[in-house]
Amino acid sequence: MPMRKLFVLWAILCMSSSCYSDRQAVNPVPFDRVELTGGFWEERMRTELDVTVPFSVEQSAPAVERFRRCADYLAGRSTELPEPHRFISSDLYKVMEGVAYSLMQERNPELEKFMDSTIHLIAASQLPDGYLYISHICGNPNVDEMGDRPYSWVVHSHELYNVGHLYEAAVAYYQATGKRNLLDVAIKNADHVNRVFFEGDPAYNGGKPVNQAPGHEEIELALCKLYRVTGNSKYLDMAKRFLDIRGVTYVPDGEGVMSPSYAQQHLPVREQRKPVGHAVRAAYLYTAMAQVDALTGRHDYEQALKSIWNNLVSTRMHITGGLGATEGIEGFGPEYYLPNKIAYNETCAAVANVFFNYGMFLAEKDAQYLDIAELSLFNNALAGISLGGNRFFYVNPLEADGRRKFNHGTGGRAEWFNCACCPPNISRLILQVAGYMYACSDDEIYLTLYGDSRTTIPLKGVM
Ligand SMILES: [Zn+2]
């Protein structure tokens, strides 16, 4: 592979400050400062803007309706209660994150109206203390999946997973438009989570800090984004605390989805050496570990990450960059278990592999991570969406006969899924791809993903 590190080729000096953090050696140049100027990625972007984004907004109507009903319920207006659902809100948040990126590419009053009206419903569904999870707020949880009260079953409820995606959408919308409406919801929730999980809030868990890591990682990497955009170190501290209590304060005891390794809770994260369990959860966790290392400059997880990465790349990753060969757990099988026809390789896992490897690059400044990010992006993540932009793979085997219904009930691409994590995940990645093209330090510029593009990068160290 070509050496990517470009020593300073040019520097356009301007009055603004350089990259956003002094503590981090290398910072990505954010998507809102990079313009796609043609070629492959501009074509993908055009399809996103013309087809995928409006299509995804349409598909999100049931999730928006749940917020409308929740807001009505809280306001005392008569309404049908929203059906219990653990994570459909997260799919909407991912769609909203994608819409935010799209608005950077092209202003669209209709989409902005969709965002603001949906944000209004989300804000109206949030409790005054910041809590946000429809089924508990409306008092009709599926107790087996969600527990009988807030945060009583965080190993499966997805309460923190959902709000992690909320934070990502909020940061994107703020960056894209300067509007704080969703960011304020996110900050209110993050402050609430900090109180309940790490300080103690009389209204939750008998006033004792919950102090338990979520079963589905996501909030950790989202808190890193919240920290980047607010500059409030509380959120970076929260991300680190969630990482450091994982596999320490709570370890599930059972089989399958309750096995200790399924959600990477079998060991403290800094003692973990191999990728295990559900692949999307794992890769979101490793992404957060890499980001926290990069942002704190402490490298607490460096040994774990390097060992996990080496094992992943040499024994548990398909040639396409796909992760999670095993269908039952949507996760990693034994070393070298890499079947073609029955490979699972969830689209979200490939997307997460891009995030993980880009995070590793930012922490380590080593081009080998970008090579894997690129491999996974082009060969598995992008396969998750049709050229037309409105048909999707959840599952990405390397061989298909058109008869076996490998893709959650279909033998080819599907229009959408009951569990719709994948379509908005690949969509939001394409929409933010400009943010993966450049990185910089005080006196260096890195070209991290090739594509026709233009940016201005102010450097502190070059006159
Ligand atoms: Zn998925």
What distance in angstroms lies between residue 435's CA and the mean position of ligand 1's atoms? 22
pLDDT at 32: 86
pLDDT digits (tens, 9 = 90+) for 183-237: 999 999 999 999 999 999 999 999 999 999 999 999 999 999 999 999 999 999 9
Does the pLDDT of residue 12 top 90, yes or no?
no
Distances (CA, A) of 463 to 8, 25, 28, 325: 12, 20, 21, 51
CA proximity to 412, closest of 437, 394, 432:
394
- The predicted model gives 135-152 an average pLDDT of 97
Q: Into how many domains does the chain fold?
A: 1
Q: Which two tokens stand for residue 150?
A: 């807030």
- The predicted model gives 132-141 an average pLDDT of 98
Does the pLDDT of residue 454 top 60, yes or no?
yes
Q: Please count the other Cβ atoms lying within 10 Å of the Cβ belonging to residue 270.
A: 16
With pLDDT > 90 as the criterion, what percentage of the chain qualifies?
89
- Residue 392 forms beta bridges with which residues? 385, 414
What distance in angstroms lies between residue 163's CA and the mean position of ligand 1's atoms? 17
| Phi, psi at 212, each rounded to 5° | -135, 140
Phi-psi domain of 318 (left: phi exceeds 0; alpha: psi -120 through 50; beta: other): beta
What distance in angstroms lies between residue 2's CA and the mean position of ligand 1's atoms? 31
Does the pLDDT of residue 4 top 80, yes or no?
no
Q: Which two tokens stand for residue 346?
A: 């969830």
Task: Supply the range of the domain harboring residue 195.
Answer: 60-250
pLDDT digits (tens, 9 = 90+) for 268-294: 999 999 999 999 999 999 999 999 999
Out of 168, 218, 330, 444, which one is annotated catalytic?
330
What distance in angstroms lies between residue 328's CA and the mean position of ligand 1's atoms? 14
What distance in angstroms lies between residue 218's CA and the mean position of ligand 1's atoms? 13
pLDDT at 460: 84
- The predicted model gives 390-402 an average pLDDT of 96
Q: Among this protein's residues, is 421 annotated catalytic?
A: yes
Q: Which residue has the tokens 């949507």?
A: 330
- Answer yes or no: is 112 within a domain: yes
- How do 438-440 and 445-447 pair as beta strands? antiparallel
CA proximity to 344, closest of 405, 277, 406, 402:
406
Out of 421, 422, 440, 444, which one is annotated catalytic?
421
Task: Return d(Cα 315, Cα 386) in angstroms, integer.
Answer: 29
- Answer yes or no: is 122 within a domain: yes
What distance in angstroms lies between residue 146's CA and the mean position of ligand 1's atoms? 20
Does the pLDDT of residue 25 top 90, yes or no?
no
Task: Return d(Cα 218, Cα 394) in angstroms, integer.
Answer: 19
What distance in angstroms lies between residue 121's CA and the mean position of ligand 1's atoms? 25
Task: Return d(Cα 198, Cα 195) in angstroms, integer.
Answer: 6
What distance in angstroms lies between residue 277's CA and the mean position of ligand 1's atoms? 15
pLDDT at 21: 44
Are 124 and 68 in contact by the 8 Å Cβ rule? The answer is no
Q: Among this protein's residues, is 330 annotated catalytic?
A: yes
- The predicted model gives 336-364 an average pLDDT of 96
Confidence bin at 6 (pLDDT 50/70/90): very low
Task: Return d(Cα 383, Cα 394) in angstroms, integer.
Answer: 10
pLDDT at 463: 54
Are 76 and 139 in contact by the 8 Å Cβ rule? The answer is no
- The predicted model gives 335-341 an average pLDDT of 97
- Answer yes or no: is 109 within a domain: yes
- Answer yes or no: is 181 within a domain: yes
- Answer yes or no: is 259 within a domain: no
| Phi, psi at 386, each rounded to 5° | -75, 160
- Answer yes or no: is 262 within a domain: no
What distance in angstroms lies between residue 423's CA and the mean position of ligand 1's atoms? 7
pLDDT digits (tens, 9 = 90+) for 39-55: 999 999 999 999 999 99
Task: Return d(Cα 340, Cα 328) in angstroms, integer.
Answer: 16
Say if residue 462 is exposed, middle or buried (CB neighbours under 10 Å; 0-12, 13-18, 19+). middle
Cβ burial 372-401 (10 Å sphere, 16+ → b, else e): bbbbbbbbbbbbbbeeebbbbbbbbbbebe
Does the pLDDT of residue 461 top 90, yes or no?
no
Are 4 and 367 in contact by the 8 Å Cβ rule? The answer is yes
- Answer yes or no: is 119 within a domain: yes
- Answer yes or no: is 204 within a domain: yes
CA angle, 9 as apex, 5 and 12 as ends, to 5°? 125
What distance in angstroms lies between residue 232's CA and the mean position of ligand 1's atoms? 31
Confidence bin at 462 (pLDDT 50/70/90): low
